[in-house]
Chain A
Amino acid sequence: AQSVAQPEDQVNVAEGNPLTVKCTYSVSGNPYLFWYVQYPNRGLQFLLKYITGDNLVKGSYGFEAEFNKSQTSFHLKKPSALVSDSALYFCAVYGNNRLAFGKGNQVVVIP
């Protein structure tokens, strides 16, 4: 069965610094990968996805993610973090008609 791992429970970063949220995946066949963000008391919002093509995927709010097939990773990045980026981030992989989510990473951007 497909799965994702998000190794860090929380990521702290100073405002203006680069932000990276890590994700590794396991799936049979071609990987279809997603990042979602959840703000407090809200549902999940789509950020970006990798289906095929360029390994660097650009998404909403200045986020991007790099697909690395050899390392089975799909890390989320933002060059300069904002306080408003503080939220819970989920990586997900699609397989067998279902989307499997990781445990989530709490990102705290410190002013």
Chain B
Amino acid sequence: EAQVTQNPRYLITVTGKKLTVTCSQNMNHEYMSWYRQDPGLGLRQIYYSMNVEVTDKGDVPEGYKVSRKEKRNFPLILESPSPNQTSLYFCASSPWEMNGDTQYFGPGTRLTVL
């Protein structure tokens, strides 16, 4: 089954404790992206990657890191989480098309930073 998977689905942590949210897709998509969803703000892009070893900042990259060493994986790293990073996070992937093809979303990771 074609899908985007994220782990963990739920995470409660404390300020400053490094964490990684994994994202994996099995559709051989070139493009992958991370978003955060906050009430009243919709989805905002954190980082995106157009292919292996190619990453770029989205709208709200501060406090986050990403890597793209393999085509299927695109982990999101929070080196020192803070309470303002409490949010719902989505990973997405799509074939790389100049017109921005349909993105496939993972189920989401709800992160709480105390």
Contact = CB atoms under 8 A, between A and B. Distances in A.
A95 B4 CA distance: 23
Interface stretch (B12-20, B36-44, B63-71, B74-82): B36-44
Secondary structure dominating the interface of A: strand
Most buried by B among A34, A43, A49: A43
Nearest to A52: B99
Secondary structure dominating the interface of B: strand
Q: How large is the interface on A (under 10, 10 to 19, 20 to 34, 35 or more residues)?
A: 20 to 34
Contacts of A100: 45, 59
Interface string B41-60: 11111001010000010110
Contacts of B90: 43-44
Contacts, number: 57
B108 A43 contact: yes
A51 interface: yes
B71 to A, nearest CB: 17
B107 A101 contact: no
Interface string B76-114: 000000000000001010000001101111111000000
Given A98-B100, A99-B103, 12 more contacts: A41-B108, A42-B107, A43-B108, A44-B92, A44-B103, A46-B104, A99-B45, A100-B45, A101-B43, A101-B44, A103-B40, A103-B42
Interface of A: 6, 9, 32, 34, 36, 41-46, 49, 51, 90, 94-95, 97-104
